Amino acid sequence: MKKFTILTVFTLLYLSSIFSQINEFTTYDNGLIYSEPTMIKLAAIADSLNLKYKSCDLNKVFYSKAQGKGHIVSIEDQNSKKAYEDIKGGISYNDFKTKYQKADLNEDALIVRFIYKNYEKKEIVEFSEINLGNGYGKEIKKVKNLEKYKGDMAKGWIFSYEEKSEYSDEFLLAIYLPDGLTNARLKDEYAKMIGYSECLIDSSSPKMHENQKYGLPYLPENWKNLSLKELEETLDDLRSTKVVGQCSQDNSPRLHAINIALVSAETAKWEVFLKAHLDIMNDRFDRMSDGSYAWNRRKTYIKELEELDINVTDLLLGITLRIDNSSEHHYYGSISRLGRALTESENNLEIETEIFKMIEDPELDDYNRIIAHFLALNYYHYMEDNDKKVGYLNQLKKSVRKLPKYISSKIDMDKIGK
């Protein structure tokens, strides 16, 4: 009897946990996670921002990430050091291939340069292979003499050599750039998407304050009855606290974000509200561990944005595109989460048309065309209508065939959508 009681308790707790995930946040009579009065406030702000957008700098120029074709070579044996010395000496790629015929080669890979700061706030220049299959591509990171790796890069070698140690054999990884790396100006229609997203999101300020303290702040039950000053103090406290989930089942970071969204909406802090809501949509939170079995239970809440009468298509595609000259607090969306959110949109035909056009557009840089391809794949994965999926998949394959040959030839058409 005692065992049965314990089992019953655990079963009820488990079922309670599952059912609580069905409605992740409180849903109001309007079917949204923000009440009708809150939505009216947000809509008024969004309307004023759309007017502001008309006076935003629509001629702002954005550039693609620096990119180009690269031949990747790697050697992990006693020839590594000699090959390293030859590369430092300026050996040509063809001579290298002739001399080191056992080297692992991957020719005509797309190489993209990323410049960022790591968790220690040290600047890194990274050259990454964009892998068109599963897994990650190879990468070379530079932490010294960074100026030589910025700007347009001429043809030649980028390399990394590790000497033999007690933990690993000597290893050479190098990338030969036959045409160097360059970035291109994005044409106006894409620049306007990015500009629209920066205008609405306000990339001049962050969602969170600096020097946050770890904690788990909560909203008092009577928070809606607080004075404006008290609400602003509450929001300041929420923005000064860092919440980290202990595992994939821990939704405290998302609850923290919805609290920030609610209070910022109540205090008319649109720039904070939209970042908090997009974080929920993109599931952009720190967790100790994050199992994939929990991902599907986290909703995207795109409907709340569409109800505000903003151009959600341009907003979300604007944070999909990757650029080299972004503002300090520019918001980039998660491709997998955006793909899922867009399937829930009321404007599916418009969205699908735009994504396919991006994949096919020879005037868009190759990296962003691949990003659009990945977005399309995630969109397909979350489509629920099997009949529509058939036609969508056929169109996606047609679009992929219009990618540059060196890219499309590395995509297995039979595995698209599987």
The answer to whether residue 248 sits within a structural domain is no
Distance of alpha carbon 302 from alpha carbon 236, whole angstroms = 26
Note whether residue 15 is domain-resident: no
* DSSP 8-state symbol, 48: H
Beta bridge partners of 153: 181
Residue pLDDT, tens place only, 150-198? 988 999 999 999 988 877 789 999 999 999 999 999 999 999 999 999 9
In this structure, is the dihedral angle defined by the CA atoms of residues 408, 413, 415 and 416, taken in order, positive or negative?
positive
- The stretches in the chain having pLDDT less than 50 are 1-21
Residue 311's CB is within 10 A of a number of other CB atoms, namely 18
Assigned domain for 234 exists: no
Would you state the pLDDT for residue 290?
73
DSSP string, 254-285: HHHHHHHHHHHHHTT-HHHHHHHHHHHHHT--
- H or E, element range at 71: strand 67-75
**Main-chain dihedrals φ then ψ at residue 255, nearest 5 degrees:** -65, -40
Alpha carbon distance 214, 199 (integer Å): 31
pLDDT number for residue 78: 87
57 in a structural domain:
no
* The pLDDT of residue 9: 37
Query: How many Å apart are CA 208 and CA 224, to the nearest integer?
Result: 22
Structural domain range at position 99 = 67-177
Would you say the pTM of this structure is higher than 0.85? Answer: yes
Q: Is 133 exposed, middle or buried (0-12, 13-18, 19+ CB in 10 A)?
A: exposed
pLDDT reported for residue 295: 67
Q: Classify residue 77: in a domain, yes or no.
A: yes
pLDDT at 188: 94
Q: Is residue 91 part of a domain?
A: yes
The pLDDT tens digits of the residues spanning 352-408 come to 999 999 999 999 999 999 999 999 999 999 999 999 999 999 999 999 999 999 999
Domain count, the chain: 1
Q: What is the rounded average pLDDT for all residues in the chain? A: 90
Do the domain assignments include residue 358?
no
pLDDT at 87: 97
State how far the Cα of 238 lies from the Cα of 219, in Å rounded to an integer. Answer: 9
Cβ 328 vs Cβ 203: under 8 Å:
yes
Specify if 394 maps to a domain: no
